[in-house]
């Protein structure tokens, strides 16, 4: 059983505007899945269905095999946490500590557990020093980390991030990537994210879905997606720099069949140099 699944999911706004068309999506436990596509492809609309912020016009969303409905949506939201693209949409408390504590407080946890979860989340995101600061005084990148910490403190089974790299400088993106890579193995958490920073995808994703005009037009591994030139053109996506380098190294004889991390690339380059000197 998959931890999250959609079956023939369709959603229409008023006036018959179709935002999602027969979307079939699967997220296994402890996996990291990227959802790519141009602006207006339906990524954010899809994400809002994962924890009942929106409900399908037709089709269904299932969490651990159980349909998400108005009857169980409160419980689902404890397990499926969403971090929106604009952190100002979900940060509103007087201090960072209070904001991160908001979710655990609403779960009805005792004071000791709340304090432990808040401290752990602040530490994981490296923002302990911001605990007593007013959120509206923070930078965009700091606000993003506070928003993520607030969801992490609820200890969801699924973390959904809409454009997690938005508003972050290159170092911030690198730090966030390193952090997200630890979550599936350390906590068994499933990560689902959308991004226009396609260079994040080879580092993070186990599987990729490509949306365009509300429909899935491609799905597969990182290699299957980014080595399919026609699909990239159709979805108006560029090939990540890492994947371009993989192509070049393969043409030079490097044995790179599954690995796309920076370390694996560096090892392949070093091996090629040794063989040719």
pLDDT at position 165: 86
pLDDT digits (tens, 9 = 90+) for 26-56: 999 999 999 999 999 999 999 999 999 999 9
pLDDT digits (tens, 9 = 90+) for 54-85: 999 999 999 999 999 999 999 999 999 999 99
pLDDT at position 62: 98
Mean pLDDT by 10 residues, the chain (277 residues): 95 88 97 95 96 96 96 95 92 95 94 96 94 92 93 96 87 87 93 92 93 96 90 89 80 69 75 78
215 and 246 co-located in one domain? no
Domain that holds residue 273: 240-277
124 and 151 co-located in one domain? yes
168 and 182 co-located in one domain? yes
203 and 254 co-located in one domain? no
217 and 83 co-located in one domain? yes
- Domain with residue 130: its CATH number is 3.40.50.300
73 and 207 co-located in one domain? yes
- Distance between CA atoms of 208 and 221, rounded to whole angstroms? 6
List, in order, residues 6 or more apart from 256 with CB less than 8 Å away. 246, 249, 250, 264, 265, 268
SS (H, E, C) the chain: CCCEEEEEEEEECHHHCEEEEEEEEEECCCCEEEEECCCCCCHHHHHHHHCCCCCCCEEEEEECCEECCCCCHHHHHHHEEEECCCHHHCCCCCCHHHHHHHHHHHCCCCHHHHHHHHHHHHHHCCCHHHCCCCHHHCCHHHHHHHHHHHHHCCCCCEEEEECCCCCCCHHHHHHHHHHHHHHHHHHCCEEEEECCCCCHHHHHCCEEEEEECCEEEEEECHHHHHCCHHHHHHHCCCCCHHHHHHHHHHHCCCCCCCCCCHHHHHHHHHHHHHHCC
pLDDT at position 261: 66
130 and 10 co-located in one domain? yes
If we measure between CA atoms, which residue out of 48, 51, 41, 49 comes closest to residue 19? 41
Report pTM: 0.90
How many domains are contained in the chain? 2
C-beta neighbour count of 78 within 10 angstroms: 15
Tokens of 68: 């998400």
159 and 64 co-located in one domain? yes
φ/ψ (deg, to 5) at 131: -55, -40
Counting every residue written for the chain, the total comes to: 277
253 and 181 co-located in one domain? no
- Distance between CA atoms of 146 and 121, rounded to whole angstroms? 9
pLDDT at position 243: 82
- Distance between CA atoms of 208 and 218, rounded to whole angstroms? 8
pLDDT at position 254: 75
CA 177 to chain centre: 10
245 and 234 co-located in one domain? no
pLDDT at position 257: 63
187 and 218 co-located in one domain? yes
252 and 224 co-located in one domain? no
């Amino acid at each position: 059983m998959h931890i999250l699944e959609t079956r023939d999911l369709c959603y229409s706004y008023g006036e018959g505007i179709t935002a999602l068309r027969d979307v079939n999506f699967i997220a296994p436990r402890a996996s990291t899945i990227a959802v790519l596509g141009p602006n207006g492809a339906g990524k954010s609309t899809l994400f809002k269905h994962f924890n009942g912020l929106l409900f399908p016009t037709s089709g269904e969303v299932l969490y651990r095999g159980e349909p998400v409905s108005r009857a169980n949506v409160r419980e689902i939201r404890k397990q499926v946490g969403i971090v929106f693209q604009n952190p100002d949409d979900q940060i509103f408390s007087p201090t960072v500590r209070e904001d991160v504590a908001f979710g655990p407080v609403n779960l009805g946890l005792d004071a000791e557990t709340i304090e432990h979860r808040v401290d752990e989340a602040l530490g994981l995101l490296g923002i302990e020093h911001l605990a007593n600061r007013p959120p509206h005084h923070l930078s965009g990148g700091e606000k993003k980390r506070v928003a993520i910490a607030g969801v992490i403190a609820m200890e969801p089974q699924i973390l959904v991030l809409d454009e997690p790299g938005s508003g972050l400088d290159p170092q911030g993106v690198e730090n966030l990537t390193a952090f997200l890579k630890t979550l599936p193995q350390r906590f068994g958490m499933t990560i689902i994210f959308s991004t226009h920073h396609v260079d994040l995808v080879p580092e993070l994703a186990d599987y990729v879905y490509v949306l365009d005009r509300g429909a899935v037009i491609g799905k597969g591994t990182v290699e299957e997606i980014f080595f399919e030139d026609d699909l990239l053109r159709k979805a108006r996506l560029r090939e990540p720099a890492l994947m371009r380098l993989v192509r070049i190294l393969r043409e030079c004889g490097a044995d790179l069949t599954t690995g796309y991390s920076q370390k694996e690339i560096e090892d392949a380059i070093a091996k090629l140099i040794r063989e040719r000197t």
